[in-house]
Amino acid sequence: MNQFISGIPVAYILGLAGILFSIGVLGVLIRRNIVIIFMSVELILNSVNLVFVTFSKALSHISGETIVFFVMAIAAAEAAVGLALVIAIFRHKKSTNVDELQSMRW
Amino acid sequence: MLDLFPLVVLLPLLGFLHNGLLKDRIPHRFAGAIGTLAVFIPFLITLGAFNEFRPMERTAPHLVPVFDWIVVGNFKSSFGYQIDQLSLYMTLIITGIGSLIHLYSMGYMKGNAGYNRFFAYLNLFIFCMLNLVLSDNLVLTFLGWEGVGLSSYLLIGFDYDKSSAAEAGMKAFILNRIGDVGFILGTGFLFWLGGSLQYLQLQTNLSEMGEFANYANIVALFFFVAAMGKSAQIPLYVWLPDAMAGPTPVSALIHAATMVTAGIFLIARLNFVFLLAPETSLFIAIIGAVTALFAATIGTLQNDIKKILAYSTVSQLGFMFLAMGSMSYVAGLFHLMTHAFFKALLFLGAGSVIHALHHEQNIKHMGGLFGKIKITSFTFLLGTLAIAGFFPFSGFFSKDLILEKAYTYGAFGSILWTMGIVAAFFTSFYMFRLVFVVFFGKDNTDSHHKVHESPWSMTLPLVILATGAVVAGFLQTPHFFLHIDALERFFAPVLSKGYELASLHGTLAEHKSLVHDVELSLAGFSVCIATIGLILAFFLYQRKPSPILEEHTGFRKILFHKYYIDEIYDFLFVRPFLFLSRGVAFFFDTKILDRFFLGIGGSFGVIANGLRRLQSGFIGDYALYVVIGTFCILVYLLTRGV
């Protein structure tokens, strides 16, 4: 297994991915604006992609990169549907604050 | 007329449907006429069919298949009717006496609010009874058997706003159910052994099967239990006296002339089984004799005119079972017919008396009626002479034939005969007690109302029944008087196959041969006994009314309270059962079962109440749950090692 990718240690890249992931999770958990939450989700997905690419390179194996393409395709689809939903909800509620979107509870 | 025969069954059903469905929309007079015609026309058809069937020459039955009902594997049950000597005989009694009683009811029930309902029930009863006797298989017989039970329940509880009537109906229904268990078990056994439920098929199948004799006793016993319930034999007789809560025509029709004789009919129909079961037959004879004696003694001290007749019916049914048990089915069927005449007559006569006295049933409040209601009292007297067994009334011939057959029956013949003759003595005594107190004694009637004779619709049946009660005995007479054996020849085709079957295996209980002189002295003795009963009743109740039977001390107290049988049953069965039921209903069910199941439901409610707080609706909360869950799984996997 290669310890370095383009001269950068794998551990560094994984650390970066971890930081990105945590920021994403934190964003999902504490932000109230639904658009920001969406962006945080994208951040999570990107951090995962980064891990996949890193290991693909380090192990010289193609499957990691393949999965990255899948993830990107699905992320794109999710963004399209998700944003459409966000717009629909905004038209209805005149708000993007998730705390005001809680009609589906008991 | 044989082609028209299905109408015999159909017309009472149509009558029931008509009167039952339109009961609030048709006038009483019309409903009564429809109801009566729905029984009378079948009577005429049956008469025609009887003529066409030529019962004295023909040996094979005439089968009328209507439609298949249940067909599963080799089990087949169909609506089919078997017309032979036995079923024609029963049908004539049912429709003949039935139409007279319908006619009588038109007068008796006049002014009753439930008039149309009454006629609907009566027709339903006739329909069921005809199914019972005409069916060619056990399942349809059972259907009729249950149907008459239902009709009896409906009619006993006819005045359903009186709790005594409703309770009597329930009592009859429940006691009959006990007997019906025997019927079902017997039917199952017969199907298992004989592979069919059709009487004719069974007869041939069983004759080909040599070892059936081994099972015959148990099958016969099951069917006898059924007969015990329906025909009110010890120990299941207690419902019949209570059944007098129903209107009087019902007592006459169902509880004297037809339904209660279904047990006798069943034994006659299954004679090919009973003939192979000598031990059970002996048991039947003993039960019959004991019942005859037991009920007759109770009858001596009762004061309700209908109750006396009810115990008399139980007693006479005992006589019939004595005959069936001693394997002289002709004698039993003979007494069934004569009893149908004179007991229906007596009940209707009693109804006429009750009618005349404005619903007074206690004989202590009657008396001196002989001159006032001439037709009723005269016909009642004829009925009494018949039931007491005076020569040459019908009861004499049939009862004497039974006593004679009992006398010659196997080893216990003389004991059975003695019990029968003592019962006959009591019969004569209590019947003449009734006659003397009601018609001749001191007038104790409530003189506010004028005593009046009943309308013609009630007296005509009385006259016709009285004629029957006098002459019906001449179908079968002993050797010293005319020596007619028409009935024996009439029933020979139905019974002969069973006799062949039985003697084939050498199990026919042998009747000792009887010298003609002995026969004459037996008959003479029984007439003497009846006369003594009459004279005793005359001295105790007429010439110098004696207080001896009015005070109820010692054994008389036991008799007056009917041996406390009702109280004993109440103590032994009803109370423990009620206690148990109450325990189950009000303790076990509410305190234990309900709590258990409600507890399960309630605990889920509590859990759900807690869990629903998780559903806050905040997306952030849900995301946090996901993160916490993921974290937990990760920790678990890391500590445990993948």
| Strand, coil or helix: B503 | helix
Report the range of poorest mean pLDDT among B14-18, B292-296, B320-324, B361-365: B361-365
pLDDT at position B8, please?
92
B614 versus B353: which is more confidently predicted?
B353
Q: Is the pLDDT of residue B554 over 80?
A: no
Secondary element (H or E) of residue B242:
helix B239-242
pLDDT at position B206, please?
84
CB pairs under 8 A between A and B: 27
* Residue B208 in tokens: 């080909």
- Look-up: residue for tokens 């026919």? B508
Secondary element (H or E) of residue B68:
strand B62-72
B560 versus B632: which is more confidently predicted?
B632
- Look-up: residue for tokens 């009167």? B19
pLDDT at position A92, please?
86
Report the range of poorest mean pLDDT among B2-6, B414-418, B430-434: B2-6
pLDDT at position A3, please?
83
Which bin fits A41, alpha (ψ -120 to 50), beta or left (φ > 0)?
Answer: alpha
> Does B392 sit behind a cis peptide bond, omega within 30 degrees of 0 on the bond before it?
yes
B617, A25: Cβ pair inside 8 Å? Answer: no
B119 with B34: CB under 8 angstroms?
yes
> Considering chain B, what is the average pLDDT of its residues?
88
How close does chain B come to A31, measured CA to CA in Å? Answer: 8
A102, B618: Cβ pair inside 8 Å? Answer: yes
Q: Is the pLDDT of residue B288 over 60?
A: yes
* pLDDT-derived band at B615, boundaries 50, 70, 90: confident
> Does B235 sit behind a cis peptide bond, omega within 30 degrees of 0 on the bond before it?
yes
B615, A105: Cβ pair inside 8 Å? Answer: yes
B208 versus B237: which is more confidently predicted?
B237
Q: Is the pLDDT of residue A101 over 80?
A: no
Interior angle at CA B120, CA B114 and CA B121, nearest 5: 85
Instruction: Please report how the helices B374-388 and B413-435 are oriented relative to each other, as an axis angle in degrees rounded to 10.
Output: 160
How close does chain B come to A76, measured CA to CA in Å? Answer: 21
Closest CA to B240 of B225, B248, B226, B251: B251
Phi/psi of residue B524, nearest 5 degrees: -60, -45
Cα separation, B155 vs B296, in Å, equals 25
Out of B615, B619, B624, closest to residue A98 by CB: B619
Q: Is the pLDDT of residue B391 over 90?
A: no
Contacts of B184 (CB under 8 A, 6+ apart): B142
With contacts defined as CB-CB under 8 Å, which chain B residues touch A101?
A: 617, 619
Q: Is the pLDDT of residue B388 over 80?
A: yes
With contacts defined as CB-CB under 8 Å, which chain B residues touch A99?
A: 618, 620
CB interface of A with B, residues 55-74, below 8 Å: none
Cα separation, B132 vs B341, in Å, equals 20
Cα separation, A60 vs B604, in Å, equals 55
Q: Does A7 touch chain B (CB under 8 A)?
A: no
Q: Closest chain A residue to B624 measured between Cα atoms?
A: A29
Q: Is the pLDDT of residue B498 over 90?
A: no
Q: Does B618 touch chain A (CB under 8 A)?
A: yes
With contacts defined as CB-CB under 8 Å, which chain B residues touch A104?
A: 617
Cα separation, B392 vs B79, in Å, equals 42
With contacts defined as CB-CB under 8 Å, which chain B residues touch A103?
A: 617
* pTM for this model (two decimals): 0.80
Q: Does A37 touch chain B (CB under 8 A)?
A: yes
| Strand, coil or helix: B421 | helix
Out of B612, B616, B624, closest to residue A29 by CB: B624
> Does B455 sit behind a cis peptide bond, omega within 30 degrees of 0 on the bond before it?
no
Max Cα distance, chain B (Å): 116
pLDDT over 70, % of chain A: 97
Q: Is the pLDDT of residue B187 over 80?
A: yes
Q: What number is the average pLDDT over the span B380-409? A: 91
How close does chain B come to A75, measured CA to CA in Å? Answer: 18
> Considering chain A, what is the average pLDDT of its residues?
89
Q: What number is the average pLDDT over the span B587-613? A: 90
pLDDT at position B550, please?
67
* pLDDT-derived band at B447, boundaries 50, 70, 90: low
Interior angle at CA B138, CA B136 and CA B140, nearest 5: 70
Q: Is the pLDDT of residue B506 over 60?
A: no
Q: Looking at the DSSP assignment, which residues form a beta bridge with residue B485?
A: B476
Query: How confident is the model over B210-236, as pLDDT tens digits?
Result: 788 788 899 999 999 999 999 999 888
Cα separation, B13 vs B36, in Å, equals 12
Report the range of poorest mean pLDDT among A55-59, B121-125, B264-268, B444-448: B444-448
* pLDDT-derived band at B42, boundaries 50, 70, 90: very high
Q: Is the pLDDT of residue A105 over 80?
A: no
- Look-up: residue for tokens 């019949």? B240
* pLDDT-derived band at B360, boundaries 50, 70, 90: confident
Interior angle at CA B58, CA B275 and CA B478, nearest 5: 60
A102, B612: Cβ pair inside 8 Å? Answer: no
Q: Is the pLDDT of residue B117 over 70?
A: yes
Q: Is the pLDDT of residue B316 over 90?
A: yes
Closest CA to A32 of B621, B542, B546, B260: B621
Q: Is the pLDDT of residue B509 over 60?
A: no
* pLDDT-derived band at B529, boundaries 50, 70, 90: very high
A30, B616: Cβ pair inside 8 Å? Answer: no
- First-to-last C-alpha distance (Å) of chain B: 94
Q: What number is the average pLDDT over the span A22-34? A: 90
CA distances from residue B628 to A25, A46, B638 in whole angstroms, order as listed? 11, 21, 15
* pLDDT-derived band at A106, boundaries 50, 70, 90: low
pLDDT over 90, % of chain B: 52
The amino acid sitting at B333 is: L
Q: Is the pLDDT of residue B514 over 80?
A: no
B620, A106: Cβ pair inside 8 Å? Answer: no
Q: Looking at the DSSP assignment, which residues form a beta bridge with residue A97?
A: A33
The string of DSSP letters for B165-220 reads HHHHHHHHHHHHHHHHHHHHHHHHHHHHHHS--BHHHHHHHHHH-TTHHHHHHHHH
Interface predicted TM-score (ipTM) of this complex, two decimals: 0.76
